[in-house]
Every structure is written in structure tokens, then in C-alpha cells.
Amino acid sequence: MRIVVRNLPVVFALLALVAPLAADSPPDTVCTTFQVEGMHCGGCSSTIIATLEKVDGVVEVSSDHEKGVAEAVYRPRKVDADELKAEIEKLGYTVTGMETEAVDG
């Protein structure tokens, strides 16, 4: 008499149970790139940088008037991209696009 027991399906069932526990939590820090219309010189970039840097939750800002972009690194638990967009538009510029990605670390 021979009895063959295959345990492999049990191992896969356990893996399927554990996998969801490692699911993504929201990122601590994100970076949003804003497409900004209306910047004409370095002074425009500096104004946008100075304004966004004052916002609570913002970590770092850079801007390039030639490319027409501003980049803000910030904590999404404190501030969101729409609020930063509003700050840029209060200065008289127009935000025509936004793209947000998670920042590691």
C-alpha cells in the first residue's frame, strides 16, 4: 500500500492569505509637477518657489520658467496638489496640468 500526500496546494493557500497584509500604505511624501502658463523670467520662478515654500507640509520646491514647470515635494497628509495649484493661480499664473508621483524615503 502506498499513500501519496501532496502538500503544495496548502503552501499556495497560505501565501494567498499573507499577500494582502503587505499591501501598499499611502506614501509619506509625494512630488507634483505643475505645468504653469505665464512665467516669463527667473523672478516668476522665484515668486512661485517662495510662495509654495511657505505652505505647511511643503518640503521642497523648484521651478523653471523656460520649461514652464514647477515641482513641489510635500506631505499629502498636510496639503494636496489642488491647494498648491490654487496658490500658484493666486499669483496670476495658470496651471494647465499636474502630475503626482510618490517619492521614496
Interface residue list for Cu ion (CB under 5 A): 40-41, 43-44
Comparison of 6 and 40: residue with beta carbon closer to Cu ion = 40
CB of 41 to Cu ion, least distance (A): 3
Name the phi and psi angles at 15, rounded to 5: -60, -40
Comparison of 32 and 63: residue with beta carbon closer to Cu ion = 63
CB of 44 to Cu ion, least distance (A): 3
CB of 91 to Cu ion, least distance (A): 10
The helix-helix angle for 81-90 and 42-53 (nearest 10°) equals: 130
Residues 86, 92, 96, 101: is their CA dihedral positive or negative?
A: negative
Name the phi and psi angles at 54, rounded to 5: -80, -15
- Distances from the Cα of 68 to the Cα of 48, 56, 81, 97, 99, angstroms: 11, 24, 17, 11, 14
Comparison of 30 and 44: residue with beta carbon closer to Cu ion = 44
Comparison of 34 and 74: residue with beta carbon closer to Cu ion = 34
CB of 104 to Cu ion, least distance (A): 33
